[in-house]
Structure 1
Amino acid sequence: MPPTRWRADPMNKQLSRRGFLASSAGLVIGLTLPMAGRAQSGAALAFEGDGTEGTFAPNAFVRVAPDDTVTVMIKHIEFGQGPNTGLATLVAEEMDADWSQMRAESAPANTELYKNLAFGMQGTGGSTAMANSYMQMRKAGAAARAMLVAAAAEEWGVPASEISVENGTVSHPDGHSSGFGALAEKAAMQTVPQDPAVKSADQFRLIGTDLPKLDTAAKSNGTATFTMDIYRDGMLTVVVAHPPKFGATVASYDDAEALKVPGVEAVHQIPQGVAVYATSTYAAIKGRNALTVEWDDSAAETRSTDEMYEAFSAAAAEGGRDAEVHGDGAAGIAGAAQVIEAEFRFPYLAHAPMEPLDGVLEVREDGAEAWMGSQFPTLDLSAIAGPLGLDPASVKINVLYAGGSFGRRAQDTAHFASELAEIGKAAGPGTYKLVWTREDDIHGGYYRPLTVHRFRAGLDEGGALLGWENVVANQSIMAGGPMAQMMQDGMDPTSYEGSSNLPYDLGHSRVGWAAQENPVSVLWWRSVGHSHTGYAAEVFLDMVLEAQGKDPLQGRLDLLREDGDRYRGVLEKVAEMAGWDGTTVRDGKGYGIALVKSFNTYVAEIAEVSDQGGFPKVHRVWCAVDCGVAVNPNVIRAQMEGGIGYGLGSVLFDEITLGDGGEVQQSNFDTYRMLRIHEMPEVVVEIIQSDADPTGVGEPGLPPIGPAVANAWRALTGKTVTRLPFTANMEA
């Protein structure tokens, strides 16, 4: 019996939806398609939301249109880090498509189809987009290619083994040739291969090349759609008055003056604060400014930053719980002839993405639809459905481009989606755009945790390293939320990652963690724990090497464990790039080196720094990165450059401080200082050639820049910066 085929019918949306879901659900790599559905798997010719008659959809990721364009459904949010381009490259490689025909589209919220294989839910983070998708997307492309070839073989009456595909053209030596689109209908009749063969590395034509990013043009000409661009008929803009202190709640409010503001339609109290609904953003903000709110501070944080530092420092001095112990641990320092000690202090940091948090929600009696830059769609879907009393199946999330995140949108508590749902619940059916202003973002918490590192190292009489201890005191990001299940015996590895598992032979060593509790909300920040552990460990290591009279490069190389080949590779490469000769100061400039592995990617950096009026000027940075197979070197270099710039701004200028009484003292870019264009150093990036599976590049460029600059500054001036940012240290 011939396989069943269905065609989209605009008069029968339900048939279209059922056909698409039946065909797609069985094509997620690793799932077995039910026998009854095999003929339709990928046979979908157009589906709801596509609207193009004749579109060939062989699986959840690949769409081939009649005009030969290939659209890849990207399961990871695109906010500048490149998954649209990187994942489309994998599909194009295995399909033997021409890059000019490739397109990318954000996948909607659908955990079954689009889950992150590293998380088990749909979400982006931890530099896992490429790592978890590498083989999945290649097999999706290979399956599509195999079905197109099978269709051509049937159409032309020739063996499939004689057919070739190159640059988007399917051809046979007898003269037959076709684009993908002309074969779409017949390809839809083919059985989907369950485990298609993929290319060997020596067959790659696109992987490893500098392909232009697919979304550059749209982002440059203004046609790319961000949440802030969404306007729907009858939509009200909403801003929320949040408590000025963490842990405070609404005691009472008076909205009389707010309701007098032209354009303000309503005011409602929600669990997060007091929401003002208006016909424009301007009116909503004016209405919020006119509110009178009394806050209950009885459970609020009222300590200042300085008070927190002292409390965290005392906790670190007590030693905390064992996170990692080798040999005799801290006891190995007891007999040392020389003990080196240091304490490092790291402030709360805001993410400050260019586009603050925003979302649009349409609430109907039978469901809801949202448009937002959702980083964790699985969690956001439930967070919207819950307050509205809806079945999650009746909620749709359209994942849009986002103007940066750096961790800000990766909310395990889905607090923004919850707030979006609450404004819909309070006002009833309608369409609402929730907007956080820059001040809301800077004041709003979910910061990188304030952290104190306490170090000790012991040397024997000959200068050999006997022992090493690092105690970290900070808040857990995971505790109290859905991610708490990832903690191990109450220990949060993201709090001290990068302090543990160092590549060096440190003798007897111990890493401790002193967990701190605080109403200030915290969240992963670009490179998470490595953003502070990389700085602390690599700056302290330089102090130890100086005490030993060793060269910073050779000292690191000498300490590397036997399994440290990839660490050695990036260290030796960056030294070669910078012309390192063991001289840390020359021609009025200091040179510092740092080595950090994060998210399974190895990065070494050397910074060139001068002293300009008592403050460092960073002129050049050399960066060597080993991230396995370099799918798109252009994207990798861009991410290293971006991580270096973002990280440099944070160590030089950025901190969130709480004043006496516990209120945040920063509010916008005038008080939360970002790196400016003239302060961006020249960056030279070299990628280590590798055949290892690809790892992440969105975050690993950041951790080494701070310690590289600090080590250069110390070599140049003799000053060790132990409290970040540099501005706070200079003032001290």
Structure 2
Amino acid sequence: MILAEKAFLREKISGDVSRRTLLTTGLAGGFLLAFHLPLSALAPNEPVQPPDATESKFAPNAFIRIDQAGHTTLVMPQVEMGQGVYTAIAMILAEELDAVFPHVTLEHAPPNDELYGNPVFGLQVTGNSNSIRAWWTQLRKGGAGARAMLVQAAAQQWQVDPAGCTAANGEVIHKESGRRLSYGALAQAAGSQTPPRDVALKDPNDFVLIGKPLKRLDTPDKANGKAVYGIDAILPGMKFATVAACPVFGGKVGKVDDSAAKKIPGVQKIVVLDDMVAVVGDHMWAAKKGLDALVIDWNEGPNAHVSSKDIWRDLRAASEKNGVVAKSEGDIAKGLATGERLDASYELPFLAHATMEPVNATVHVTRSSCEIWTGTQIMTRVQSEAAKAAGLPVEKVTVNNHLLGGGFGRKLEPDMVVAAVRVAKQVDGPVKVVWTREEDIQHDVYRPVYRDTISATLSAGKIVGWRYKVSGAAVIARWLPPAFQKGIDIDAVDSAVDAPYDIPNFHVEYVRAEPPAVPTGFWRGVGPNNNVFAIESFMDELARKVGKDPIDFRRGMLGKNPRLLAALNLVAEKSGWGQPLPARIGRGVSVQPSFGSFIATVVEAEVDEQGEVLLHRITSAVDTGIAVNPDTIMAQLEGGLIFGLTAALYGEITIDKGRVQQSNFHDYRMLRIDQVPKVEVHVIKSGEAPGGIGETGVTAGPPALRNAIYAATGVALRRLPIDRSLIAVGRKA
């Protein structure tokens, strides 16, 4: 720490303390990072005393600091990409800290796995709908510990027993005398207190913030245009660049004729790399026009023959093989030999992320440093991969994170930053690299294609045997190799191994089948995307086979899952389930215990004579444990349902001659505002620990829609997106 303090003092004397210096010296904003608190401890440690007492801040852990003016700053370990996590996490910390919530400000955490690593992954990552789930206990302990230190400081000053003091609204109060001291007045003294090893957390009955539908902290600046996303970063002397990569997966640059591009006003430089070409200009328009003027001959390589037809042929063949057993209970051979049997297979296509903010990164590379401005879900991996690309030690790379204009798993990858660093190495000064929508969609990291095969037997109206096989890519094997054990991708089988129904003979297998050439990664909803769709679609077919109502059929096998059964009963009531409907209008249901939440959804939809689907109404009931901010939960479910239904109706990436065929929103459609029906979300009050909510709606919508179409037309669709020709009047599956 001595070197860091010297660096701080040197710049303090010069009167020029930059954010970058504070970050890189480990002294972010008042010596926050100088206080090295082990991630899981939030427990005793000696607070670091700042060199200048007039600038001192109370920094009890890596997430909280309070200055002598009483200003409270919360450092966010997770990133905000529209899911409302900045507000929810701030509520958790402020609740236990007893801070004045409207006066709290937020900062992005700098890259640091030790301080800000997600407790589930051990990496500083935002994803898998676990921001609240993963941090619930740790952040509460952090806030409660800081509050206890402030109380100790006040009690010491008053010479009273700390047990006779309480805290509220940024103050410590002595209950007997009524004396009060603000957190600001106590900040310096609190820094000298010993952090408590064990601190009592609030009883949920005493919560004053958690459980209230508070307004989101990020909304005002998003409404007035002040919000800064990665794509908004502006630096003095910055150039703009946009890129073109080979349209064929894995292809390389051959020859480049840049004579016309160089004549475009504002074009400054053409950067030719082995696998892409970038045009650098004074502004984005110049860079784009310059890129359009390039004549590039590509060496397409061995993947120029790859097509969707071949990929599906290979996947279907792989799905016929035996897989690795992910879970097995009872006697599956005996179970499948008992009662009536039904077999089915379900398929889901490649999907792009198509975030509203295209991938981008602003980078400044010098001989001795690299600084990055972007929006990412995985800061430390961006930092380490950028260091490799820049040829620099990790500590010489600074990452400034911003709000994300959508992530959906795309920004769990560092590839766009690595590419920007490679371009920036050829440019003097900072350069903002922005992918066009076409480049973004055609060079994505796609949701894998999946094929799920199911065999089940029925006796006395219930399932007695269940064999389920997932076939598809192993994203975990690439993204987090230590988690890929014994040939099982834990993400690919998520919501399959923990299917909610009471089935005595239960067997799940996984077949790893990687598509040739096509890069695959996480997509909002991850593993439950394919498994919830297949399971819940199949449940409706089984219900029809035994002549039961789909909800009654499910009720009979949810005895061991009372939270999900309660959600199902509530959604049945609120959706008007069982009430008569006109011809070609149906209701479909899906249930799932995904991401630690329990959700039941009913979609009401109409199918016209041409096979077009009109959404009439969506109803969801969810038990997500303690609802930190009910308003955010409702918003996330509404948005997630629309996102998932968009994919069900239109989403598909197809490959021909090694090329992605879709390029923009005209052929990779989104659900339009006039197509969105009334969405009702009913949040069940619960005292359980919070579950995840950002992806539950995404996975709930498609099977409920498919089952609504099944109810309306009698056609059992087994593949997405919806094939309108199969449900048009006069056609059969």
Question: Greater CA deviation, 276-285 or 22-31?
Answer: 22-31
Contact 1:301 1:520 in 2 (8 A): no
Q: Is the 8 A contact 1:442 1:667 kept in 2?
A: yes
Q: Does structure 1 residue 304 correspond to structure 2 residue 315?
A: no
**1:68-467 maps to which residues of 2 (within 5 A)?**
68-172=70-174, 173-300=176-303, 302-329=305-332, 332-333=335-336, 335=337, 338-411=340-413, 414-425=414-425, 427=426, 429-459=428-458, 465-467=463-465
2:636 alignment counterpart: 639
The answer (yes or no) to whether the contact 2:111–2:124 under 8 Å persists in 1 is yes
Equivalent position of 1:601 in the other structure = 597
Residue 330 to residue 397, structure 1, CA distance change in 2 (3 Å): farther
In structure 2, which of residues 565, 575, 578 is the aligned counterpart of residue 578 of structure 1? Answer: 575
Report the equivalent of 1:699: 695
Normalising by structure 2, we get a TM-score of 0.91
Within 5 Å, give how 1:681-720 maps onto structure 2: 681-720=677-716
1:6 and 1:44 in contact (8 A); partners too: no
Q: Do the aligned residues in 2 keep the contact of 1:46 with 1:56 (CA within 8 Å)? A: no
CA–CA distance in 2 between the matches of 1:528 and 1:470?
18
* CA distance in structure 1 between the aligned counterparts of 2:442 and 2:390, rounded to whole angstroms: 27
The alignment partner of 2:537 has SS state of helix
Does the alignment pair 1:567 with 2:564?
yes
Query: Deviations 1:494-529 (Å, cap 9, x if unpaired)?
Result: 223223221223453433333222210111111112
1:626 and 2:623 are equivalent in the alignment = yes
Letter in 1 for 2:645: L
1:338 shift after superposition:
4.2
For structure 2, the residue ranges without an aligned partner over 5 or more in a row are: none
Amino acid at match of 1:695: G
1:421 partner SS: helix
Shift of 1:563: 2.9
Q: Deviations over 1:407-462 (max 9, x none)?
A: 11012xx212221221123x1552111111111111113111112223333346x6
Q: How many percent identity over aligned positions?
A: 36
2:688 & 2:142 partners in 1: Cα distance? 21
Once the two structures are superposed, what CA deviation does each residue of 1:565-618 show, in whole Å capped at 9, x if it has no partner? 22222212222322434x574686311111112122211111111234432222
Mapped partners of 2:235, 2:147: distance in 1: 39
Which residue of 2 is the match for residue 651 of structure 1? 648
Shift of 1:383: 0.6
Aligned to 2:524: 526
Is contact 1:584-1:591 (8 Å) kept? Answer: no
User: Could you tell which deviates more after superposition, 22-31 or 295-304?
Assistant: 22-31
CA deviation digits over 1:168-203, x for unaligned, max 9? 233334343233223323333333334332212222
1:596-648 CA distance string (max 9 Å, x none): 12122211111111234432222221111122221111111111111111111
- TM-score, normalization by structure 1: 0.91
Is residue 676 of structure 2 the alignment partner of residue 680 of structure 1?
yes
Corresponding position: 1:590 with 2:586: yes
8 Å CA contact 1:343, 1:452 repeated in 2: yes
For 2:294 and 2:198, the matched residues in 1 are separated by 61
Contact 1:44/1:58 (CA < 8 Å) preserved in 2? no
Paired amino acid for 2:420: L
1:325: Cα distance to partner?
3.2
Q: 2:233 corresponds to which letter in structure 1?
A: I
Give, in angstroms, the shift of residue 45 of structure 1: 8.9
Q: Distance in 2 between matches of 1:71 and 1:471?
A: 49
Q: Deviations over 1:334-370 (max 9, x none)?
A: x466432333221111111110111111112321211
Give the drift of 1:86.
0.8
**Aligned residue identity for 1:451:** Y
Matches for 1:489-508 after TM superposition, within 5 Å: 489-508=486-505
Which deviates more from structure 2 when the two are superposed, residues 178-187 or residues 707-716?
178-187
The alpha-carbon deviation at position 148 of structure 1 amounts to 2.2
Aligned partner of residue 319 in structure 2, secondary structure: helix
Cα distance in 2 for residues equivalent to 1:65 and 1:510: 57
1:30 partnered with 2:41: yes
CA contact (8 A) 1:27 1:59 kept: no
* More deviation, 199-208/177-186: 177-186
Amino acid at match of 1:717: T
**Any conservation in 2 of the 1:339–1:458 contact (CA below 8 Å)?**
yes
In the alignment, is the contact (CA less than 8 A) between 2:33 and 2:62 conserved in 1? no
Contact 2:44 2:194 in 1 (8 A): no
CA distance in 2, matches of 1:194, 1:237: 51
Which AA in structure 2 matches 1:416? M
Instruction: Write the distance in 1 (CA, Å) between the matches of 2:59 and 2:77.
Output: 16
Q: How far did residue 684 of structure 1 move?
A: 1.6
- Give the Cα separation in 2 of the matches to 1:32 and 1:464: 51
Mark the CA change 1:316 to 1:187 in structure 2 (over 3 Å): closer, same or farther: same
Distance across 2 between alignment mates of 1:708 and 1:538: 8
Q: Which residue of 1 aligns with 2:59?
A: 57
Q: Is the 8 A contact 2:601 2:621 kept in 1?
A: yes
Q: The residue matched to 1:590 in structure 2 has which SS?
A: strand
Alpha-carbon distance between aligned partners in 1 of 2:299 and 2:26, rounded to the nearest angstrom: 49
Aligned length: 710
Cα 1:46–1:720 shift into 2, 3 Å: farther
1:370 and 1:498 map into 2 onto residues whose CA distance is 37
Alpha-carbon distance, 1:331 to partner: 6.8
Asked if 1 retains the 8 angstrom alpha-carbon contact of 2:42 and 2:61, the reply is: no
Q: Secondary structure at the match of 1:704?
A: helix
Work out whether residues 69 and 101 of structure 1, in 8 Å CA contact, stay in contact via their aligned partners in 2: yes
Q: CA deviation at 1:32?
A: 6.1
Kept in 2: contact 1:227–1:373 (CA 8 A)? yes
Between the aligned partners of 2:365 and 2:580, the Cα distance in structure 1 is 62
Instruction: Return the alpha-carbon distance in structure 1 between the equivalents of residues 8 and 661 of structure 2.
Output: 57
159-168 vs 695-704, greater mean Cα deviation: 159-168
8 Å CA contact 1:602, 1:627 repeated in 2:
yes
Name the SS for the 2:640 alignment partner.
helix
Q: From the superposition, tell whether residues 23 and 514 of structure 1 become closer, same or farther in structure 2 (CA, over 3 Å).
A: closer
Contact 1:723 1:729 in 2 (8 A): no
Choose 205-214 or 605-614, whichever is displaced more. Answer: 605-614
Shift of 1:62: 0.9
1:549 paired residue number: 547
Deviation by residue 1:210-238 (Cα, 9 ceiling, x = unmatched): 11111111111111111111111121212
Give 1:722's aligned residue.
718
In the alignment, is the contact (CA less than 8 A) between 1:94 and 1:138 conserved in 2? yes
CA contact (8 A) 2:59 2:191 kept: yes
Comparing 10-19 with 368-377, greater Cα deviation is found at 10-19
Relative to structure 2, which stretch is displaced further, 81-90 or 97-106? 97-106
* Distance verdict in 2 for CA 1:301–1:507, change over 3 Å: farther
Q: Match for 1:550: what amino acid?
A: K
User: Do the aligned partners of residues 376 and 251 (structure 1) sit closer, same or farther apart at CA in structure 2, a change above 3 Å counting?
Assistant: same
Displacement after TM superposition at 1:134 (Å): 0.9
Aligned equivalent of 1:617:
614
Cα distance in 2 for partners of 1:8, 1:193 equals 30
Deviation at 1:113, TM superposition (A): 1.3
Matched, 1:558 2:561: no
Q: After the TM superposition, which of the residue ranges 161-170 and 242-251 deviates more from structure 2? A: 161-170
Q: Secondary structure at the match of 2:655?
A: coil
From the superposition, tell whether residues 455 and 102 of structure 1 become closer, same or farther in structure 2 (CA, over 3 Å). Answer: same
Query: Please, which moves more after superposition, 398-407 or 93-102?
Result: 93-102
User: SS of 1:165's equivalent?
Assistant: strand
1:537 maps to amino acid: I
